[in-house]
Structure 1
Amino acid sequence: MAEREWFDTDYYKVLGVSAQASDEEITKAYRKLAKQHHPDATKGSEERFKEISAAYDVVGDAAKRQEYDEVRRLGPAAAGVGANGTRFTGDFSDLGDLFGGLFGQRRARAQRGADLETSLHLSFRDSVKGVTTSVQLPSSQSCHLCQGRGATAGGYVTCETCQGKGVTQDNQGPFAMSSVCPACQGRGIKIITACPACHGSGREPSSRTVNVRIPAGVVDGQRIRLKGKGQPGQQGGPNGDLYVDVHVSADSRFARKGRHVVTTATVSITDAMLGTTVQVATLDEPVTLRIPAGTQPGTTMRVRGYGVPSVGKHPAGDILVSIAVTVPTELSRHQRHLVEQLAESLKEVES
């Protein structure tokens, strides 16, 4: 992008937003205009579409937008460009550092932080209800032994190429073109004896604690993306994302069926025949469930609202109770006689 075009074009006006607009507002405006003026949708709109795309390419990028705003703030004269396009011949040395960063110093480009991955083991209850927990993530810090120099005490000398600044500068007219010193790679020193702890890197491994919110209703094997929880960005760039692979422990009493929780209630054969009430465990407090007379083994009964909590457009799930009927394995002589009488009576009813 030529400097002159940045001075002459108000990209915010092109997109119909203010210079104080948020990133979300800029993106929303661009998508609306791009859809409206796309050549496939509107004939003869190619130039307008290119103008919109060029504007978004600059102010839709965090690093470019920062540079663009600074250039616009200083105005054409700051870069040595006159109103008629001629260049001034005055002393612009005080602006060298600024425009070295804007047009020549590529190392200052905003860089997005790296994405990270981790695993998290949850109890069944936490997977259903959601939980806020913490995870340990790998990181790095300045070496404790050399304080980040990468060299032992006295094991380094000042870089002669950049005089310890870490960058070299090439003045080209009104602009100061800066770049990382090729001799020391930006350190400002030349290492003679590398630090034995960090082997000359100046960094050592560490960890950091990140609090993460796990939403209600996650399932085993699900991957969750937590925006901005990854490695920090460089030079003002955005943070990377954190991807959490969820592992849910099995529960002896409960299972999942979509947004519903499944459990079992056991009743005796006589209670199944005559009807009864039982206490059913849930992930919250126990609930009372009425078992109608004549309930068959395997019957599923529903208690509303005791499954996965309501999240966004998703309604709350229920708890589904499967009825198990126990049959006695041993009977006394008297009990057997009573059961035989009942069996004969039932045969008469059926006939």
Structure 2
Amino acid sequence: MKRDYYDILGVTKSASEDELKKAYRRCAMKYHPDRNPGDKAAEEAFKECKEAYEVLSEPAKRRAYDQHGHAAFERGGGGHGGADFGDIFGDIFGDIFGGGRGGRQQARRGSDLRYVIELDLEEAVFGVERKIDVPTLVGCVECKGTGSEDGKTETCGTCRGQGRVRMQQGIFSVQQVCPHCAGAGKRVSNPCKSCRGQGRVEDEKTLEVKIPGGVDNGDRIRLAGEGEAGPAGAPAGDLYVEVRVREHAIFQRDGDDLYCELPIRLSQAALGADIEVPTLEGEVIVKVPAETQTGKQFRLRGKGVKSVRSHAPGDLLCRVVVETPVNLTRRQREILQEFEGTFEGDNAAAHSPRSSTFLDGVKAFWNRVVS
């Protein structure tokens, strides 16, 4: 019976990609045949490590294994037991030495690029199309990205067309990308004068980006193949457009919900009123009941942001703020003074519930301090 792949590598089922790679590195170095000549047990352990890592390092295979175990790979006779000792370091040290799995190393693709685009809240909510200018490396027009003046290439003499060279480091034989042809296996015999044999030049590229409605801060849109052109005709990288949403004068966003403050006059709060409230789709009427206090919140369902993922709309939440009147006329002052006079006497507390509760709390506090 086959051993569990996670047990073979000595990791848990929640192990990250980096933890898997480190565990595989330890296992491979421990059981590598060069370190254990003639040891069949070590060779079998090495093959087990390689098989386990080949499955768990690929997300699709890992999901299948987590769900069905070894049965997920029994059909079709495609086993994972065969270990290519010569290429082992291309698997686990590829990010360090530039090696790849099997065959000739392909020329390095162009770098991915990041572009930050600033949007108004309305643009982020409803979507927008924008033209952006991206400074980048593009394929040379003169040589069509080949880097060659006459279109001719020759086999690289350093790696003999393999794209990789082998280096001996102690007991280990390590493969790395050929430094002279960058893994292409070929070299330009007559370099293009415009790009100096690189196959790419600095330029600015204008792109039209379609931003879907509902995006938020930090969301990224991937434009495949719109990054830097690769050297000597290698594939281009990708462009990631990252969204930044400017602050809005009225609304604050939290996920798919919007928040705003609803300022009302003292008289409106006391007597009740129908208040016009702005939304991103136009004004709506909110019925503010009598005796409404500051902090009261009204929820307008479906008036928030329609999610870019679920397409379900959020809500708009309006928090009431009762404003103190300013720039009063003489008559307004007189009316307020008359109004204030009506609160004198034993019944004043009945009209100010929060004030009464506060004062009762203060009295209780001082009584505890004095006692």
TM-score (norm 1): 0.55
Question: Which residue does 2:78 correspond to in 1?
Answer: 51
The answer for unaligned runs of 5 or more in structure 2 is 1-58, 83-101, 164-179, 351-371
Q: 1:135 offset after TM fit, Å?
A: 3.2
Determine the C-alpha separation between the residues in 2 that align with 1:219 and 1:244.
Answer: 12
Say which SS state the counterpart of residue 298 (structure 2) adopts: strand
Determine the C-alpha separation between the residues in 1 that align with 2:73 and 2:250.
Answer: 64
Determine the C-alpha separation between the residues in 1 that align with 2:300 and 2:278.
Answer: 11
Within 5 A, what are the aligned runs for 1:239-258? Answer: 240-258=237-255
Alignment partner of 1:266 out of 232, 252, 263: 263
Say which SS state the counterpart of residue 282 (structure 2) adopts: coil
Q: Which moved more, 1:313-322 or 1:210-219?
A: 210-219
Question: Which residue does 1:116 correspond to in 2?
Answer: 113
Q: Quick one: percent identity of the two aligned structures? A: 29
Within 5 A, what are the aligned runs for 1:70-149? Answer: 106=104, 109=106, 114-137=111-134, 138-144=136-142
Within 5 A, what are the aligned runs for 1:194-273? Answer: 195=193, 197-220=194-217, 222-224=218-220, 226=222, 228-231=224-227, 240-273=237-270
- Maintained 8 Å contact 1:165/1:188: yes
Determine the C-alpha separation between the residues in 1 that align with 2:146 and 2:235.
Answer: 27
Question: Which residue does 1:279 correspond to in 2?
Answer: 276
Distance 1:279 1:256, change over 3 A: same
Q: 1:309 offset after TM fit, Å?
A: 0.7
Determine the C-alpha separation between the residues in 2 that align with 1:313 and 1:148.
Answer: 42
Determine the C-alpha separation between the residues in 2 that align with 1:224 and 1:265.
Answer: 33
Within 5 A, what are the aligned runs for 1:175-186? Answer: 186=186
Q: 1:307 offset after TM fit, Å?
A: 0.9
Q: What's the C-alpha RMSD, in Å, of the aligned pairs?
A: 4.7
Distance 1:28 1:306, change over 3 A: same
Q: 1:208 offset after TM fit, Å?
A: 3.1
Alignment partner of 2:154 out of 144, 147, 166: 166
* Cα offsets for 1:172-202 (capped at 9, x unmatched): xxxxx9668x8998455345xx73x534535
Say which SS state the counterpart of residue 338 (structure 1) adopts: helix
Q: 1:48 offset after TM fit, Å?
A: 7.5
Determine the C-alpha separation between the residues in 2 that align with 1:200 and 1:150.
Answer: 4
Distance 1:202 1:237, change over 3 A: closer
Determine the C-alpha separation between the residues in 2 that align with 1:52 and 1:227.
Answer: 36
Question: Which residue does 2:68 correspond to in 1?
Answer: 36
- Maintained 8 Å contact 2:198/2:231: no
| Aligned residue type for 2:339 | L
Say which SS state the counterpart of residue 342 (structure 1) adopts: helix
Say which SS state the counterpart of residue 166 (structure 1) adopts: strand
